[in-house]
């Protein structure tokens, strides 16, 4: 068996990997915080968050803060496992 395991294509995207890297270290993060930290456009970030949510890697909660919409993202246990596996597999490529 090859020492090189396939890398999760969902996490191999730079923006999705950045989002997961941010979320792994916090309880939750607001859309605006993720947008600011990644430098992504609102439209692109929305699309990528949707893909992560569909995969079960994150949960997205939509609410209101006063009269303004508030989108909060949280990594799931499935997402944590996927991220950790991705990182471990990537390390094997580097070693």
Which domains, and CATH codes, for the chain? Answer: 14-90 (1.10.10.10)
d(CA 28, CA 90) in angstroms, rounded, equals 25
Beta strands at 58-65 and 29-30: parallel, antiparallel or unpaired: unpaired
Question: How confident is the model at residue 4, as a pLDDT?
Answer: 82
d(CA 72, CA 20) in angstroms, rounded, equals 14
By C-alpha distance, which of 6, 4, 5, 25 is closest to 79?
25
pLDDT along the chain (95 residues), means of 10: 82 96 97 97 97 98 93 98 95 87
Q: Full-prediction pTM beyond 0.75? A: yes
65, β-bridge pairs: 68
């Amino acid at each position: 068996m090859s020492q090189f395991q396939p890398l999760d294509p969902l996490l191999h995207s730079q923006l999705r990997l950045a989002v997961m890297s941010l979320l792994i270290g916090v309880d939750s993060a607001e859309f605006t915080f993720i947008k600011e930290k990644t430098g992504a456009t609102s439209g692109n970030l929305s699309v990528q968050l949707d893909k992560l949510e569909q995969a079960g890697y994150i949960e997205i909660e939509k609410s209101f803060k006063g009269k303004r919409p508030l989108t909060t993202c949280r990594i799931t246990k499935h997402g944590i496992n996927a991220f950790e596996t991705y990182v471990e597999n990537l390390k094997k490529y580097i070693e």
